[in-house]
Amino acid sequence: MKILTCITPGQLEYGVADVPELKPGNALLKIKRIGICGTDLHAFEGTQPFFSYPRVLGHELAAELLDAGGEDGFEKGEAVTFIPYFNCGHCIACRSGKPNCCVSIQVCGVHTDGGMVEYLQVPSRLLVHGEGLSFDELALVEPLAIGAHGVRRAAVQPGEFVLVIGAGPIGLGIMEFARIAGATVIAADVNTQRLAFCKDSLKIAHTINVKDEDTLARLNEITNGDMPTVVIDATGNQNAINGAFQYLAHGGRYVLVGLQRGDIIVSHPEFHKREATLMSSRNATRQDFEHVIRSMKSGQVNPQTYITHRVLFDEVKDQFKSWLNPANGVIKAMVEV
């Protein structure tokens, strides 16, 4: 089978490998779609934490099920996706119902080789039914589930002002599910094209270009002086993360979905006087995957909105670097295998 490996930062190479010999407890998938995400792009850049090379990238996947590995309720030929966070099942997090932050988690395409292949085996217990969705739609379930999980972590309530910083694919998913939760969403970014996408495609009423506008003044204006009760970072940018504490309402919650390598620096008195809550949001759970699928099927989320670029598997190596350029307007590149 064909395989595409990130050998070192900036270097992708095609190769050939054997079709995986199925291990007990695993399912065999024929990959049909691969969504390109920020993790893949950062790995190519060499800026992704918790990463080693060489690595086969790809974890936003849709596939045809060839062998369910004994998992009940699944049929050969069924369209599926899967939860790409391989957890141990027995650590404190897993025992607490939080397999998404397992102590020894192995994320497909990050800690273990991922889906830029023709065939892939994954733990059968992590399969997710396609529920009649297309391969394109199924490949978008995982990134949208990241956003859904962040919103669930924040316990967003109807009528709240939610500031989402970063209008990349993960940030856009956060905005969608904050809207579904009944919040008034404010999108903040430095990219004019992305903010226009928020307004035109996602119908986000309030957008702020933090490069060109006085963000504090705009937030005061939008929230009638209250400031957002929820701030969610989806940038993974250290300056953006540290700078956003000032945007938080008294009694508010700040959720970090984006990840960066450095330290969080905050004025303790400013944070303390707000009695604010700071939390991280990592990966997603089956509950979040199911919420995304229901939202797609009910029409609350239109996944096709996100796909701006489409390539064949054989074209990925030549096209990949271009997806890093903001001028190319990439929201989601989708690979057809």
Mean pLDDT of 34-42: 92
Tell me: pLDDT of 50 over 90.
no
Q: Does residue 293 contact residue 133 with C-beta atoms inside 8 Å? A: yes
Cβ-proximal residues to 325 (8 Å cutoff; 6+ apart), any chain? none
pLDDT of residue 51: 82
165 near 142, Cβ under 8 Å?
Answer: no
Instruction: Determine the Cα–Cα distance for residues 43 and 205; give it in Å rounded to an integer.
Output: 33
- pLDDT for the residue numbered 262: 86
Specify the pLDDT at position 159: 97
Pick from 111, 117, 55: nearest CA to 84:
111
Q: Is the pLDDT higher at 51 or at 176?
A: 176
State whether residue 96 is helix, strand or coil.
coil
Residue 260 pLDDT class (50, 70, 90 cuts): confident
Q: CA 158, CA 237: separation in Å to the nearest integer?
A: 28
Write out the two tokens for 146. 């990241």
How much of the chain, in percent, has pLDDT values that exceed 70? 100
> How high is the pLDDT of residue 38?
87
Q: What is the pLDDT of residue 234?
A: 97
* C-beta of residue 65 within 8 angstroms of C-beta of residue 74: yes
Q: Where are the domains of the chain?
A: 2-139+302-336, 146-280
- Give the max Cα distance, the chain: 61
Q: What is the pLDDT of residue 261?
A: 81
pLDDT at 105 exceeding the cut of 80? yes
Q: Who contacts 67 (Cβ-Cβ below 8 Å, separation ≥6)? A: 22, 27, 28, 76
Do 199 and 193 meet the contact criterion of CB atoms below 8 Å apart?
no
Q: Answer yes or no: is pLDDT of 35 > 90.
A: yes
**Res 12: pLDDT:** 97
Interatomic CA distance for residues 332 and 298, integer angstroms: 22
- Per the omega criterion (within 30 degrees of 0), is the bond before 49 cis? no
Write the Ramachandran bin of 50: left for phi over 0, alpha for psi from -120 to 50, otherwise beta: left
Task: Give the Cα-Cα-Cα angle 129, 132, 136 (nearest 5 degrees).
Answer: 90
Pairwise CA distance, residues 332 & 337, whole Å? 16
Confidence label for 48 from pLDDT (cuts 50, 70 and 90): confident
The CA-based dihedral angle spanning residues 256, 42, 305, 322, taken in that order and rounded to the nearest 10 degrees: 150
47 pLDDT band, cuts 50/70/90, is confident
2.130.10.10, 3.40.1710.10, 3.40.50.360, 3.40.50.720: CATH of 146-280: 3.40.50.720
Give which of 98, 117, 183 is closest to 335, Cα–Cα: 117
Instruction: Give the mean pLDDT of 121-130.
Output: 97
**CB neighbours of residue 118 within 10 Å:** 17
More confident residue, 94 or 50: 94
* Whether pLDDT at 144 is above 90: yes
- With beta carbons less than 8 A apart as the criterion, state whether 162 and 183 touch: yes
SS3 content of the chain, % helix, strand, coil (to 5): 35, 25, 40
State pTM to two decimals: 0.95
**Mean of pLDDT over the chain:** 96
Residues composing the chain: 337
For 212-222, write each residue's pLDDT tens digit.
999 999 999 99
Average pLDDT over every residue of 131-136:
97
H helices present in 101-168, as ranges: 135-139, 141-154
What class does CATH assign to 2-139+302-336? alpha beta
Q: Which pLDDT does position 259 carry in this prediction?
A: 87
Per-residue pLDDT at 130 exceeds 80: yes
Tokens (6 digits) for 318: 């030549």
Q: What is the mean pLDDT of residues 10-33?
A: 96
- Provide the 10 A C-beta neighbour count for residue 268: 7
